[in-house]
Amino acid sequence: MRVKDRRSGFTFVEIMLVVVIIGILASMILPRLGGRSEEARKAVASADINASIATALDMFELDNGQYPEKIDDLITKPSYANNWNGPYLKKKPVDPWKREYIYKPTADKKDYELTSYGKDGVAGGADDITNKETAGSTE
């Protein structure tokens, strides 16, 4: 007959000690990671504004000699575009906060401003992200 070894597993105290240590480590690490998600959202919005959407807008301008009247013109052909080679975007772009980017062409359609109002969703907030040098820009 075999005798079982009583030390073959972990005791309840040992398991609880490991759980407490993991809890302490998590409480030290998670607050640091919490702010990173907002920074990542800002970086994504900035990349969209200054690269992804900007490239589509520039391609439209190269083909048609002017920037589009509205961002939807990158997806479906507008009546004024004589040399439209789109779609330039697959779908209407939204910022990381699930709101549409604000697109404003200049009166002569030779330039544009593209903006995300950031986390607060309010124009002129400190978290606005834009392609133009303005107060509150976080480029």
Q: Which helix (H) or strand (E) holds 17?
A: helix 12-47
Tokens of 125: 């907030």
Supply the pTM of this predicted model: 0.70
In the predicted model, is pLDDT for residue 137 greater than 50?
no
Measured between its terminal Cα atoms, the distance across the chain in Å is 76
Domains of the chain by residue range:
38-130
pLDDT band at 33 (very low <50, low <70, confident <90, very high): low
Third-level CATH fold of 38-130: Glycoprotein, Type 4 Pilin (3.30.700)
State pLDDT tens for residues 71-81: 999 999 999 99
Q: Which residues pair with 94 in a beta bridge?
A: 100
- The C-alpha atoms of residue 105 and residue 107 are separated, in whole angstroms, by 7
Tokens of 64: 């048609």
